[in-house]
Structure 1
Amino acid sequence: MPTRRTNPRQNTTPCPDCGVPLTRPNPADLPNYPIDGALTKPTPYLRVLALAPAANIDVFDFSHPIPDELGAAITLALDDNDQLRATIGLDPHLNEDLRTDLLAFAIALYTAEPERIDNTPNAALGIPKTRVRAARRGAGHLAYHIAFSCGRKTSSATFDSREL
């Protein structure tokens, strides 16, 4: 039977926008949680980064200069088994907090709104590094929950995007 120790949602505050409990799971309290699971990583950025492979997302740092206003880019493709995959490139010069929020937003775009990316001419979106007002729903709101559950407290993990 779940207890307050094994079910932290019993002691949480609901998100004011969607009502989902705001939780930061503790791997030690999760039975059978993998010893090297995403939540065991030392920083919020590394925790969000560790989520990407499970969602068929490859993440890399751009090795060449990108436009100053961009912080990230995401593109879609089919792998050899016709499974949808995403590739996310990040500006390597950003601080870890901004990288965390941009990566959470890009993951949220891919998981919640892949058609938004796929419907562009190159199946690619650029994500400027300037945050916008926190979204109350959609990919920006999902990004907030991803970042929060990985230990990142931010006022907004919502960004604009543009076709590439």
Structure 2
Amino acid sequence: MISIKELNKDKLDDFFQYLKIHLSENGQKGITLFQPLSKNQSELSDEWKAKFEDGMNNKNEGIGWRKIWVALNEENKIVGHIDIRSQNQLNAEHRVLLGMGVDSNFRNLKIGQNLLEFIIDYCRNNRKISWIDLQVLTNNIPAIRLYKKMNFEQLSITKDMFRIDNISYDYTSMTLNVEN
């Protein structure tokens, strides 16, 4: 049984521990590259921690805010997360950027789908939000398949967006209108 809870500041250290492990798996044997980072770059930096913490402090106002929810298993361990954040430009307050991940030991249990269903409902019930946008590495077929299942529309593919360890990666942009 999985529950989804908004991340509070008192659980931030637990979240950072989960995120540290999650990022360390990026591109490891048998795991698709899910962040545009090399294996050596896939670590939780103080800069990343600050972005999460600063975003949580902004309280959904203006540019720079972020809301985070975590999926907890029966032992109250974080096994996945989903977050939305503001677009970092003026006059785009009606759009949010999506980020998410699931612990590799808990994949294929519909946790990602449950997190997406939760966030889509949250955004549909928030009158300020009209669109959920995301970018995903084009080689991350399981993620793209899930986003399409949840009715995200593919907008574009940016060819050769990243070159990681001398390998070219494309980037797919997708969106979902939550006003419908």
TM-score normalised to the size of structure 1? 0.30
Q: Which has the higher helix share?
A: 1
Higher relative contact order (CA 8 A, sep 6+): 1
TM-score normalised to the size of structure 2? 0.28
Q: Which has the higher strand share?
A: 2
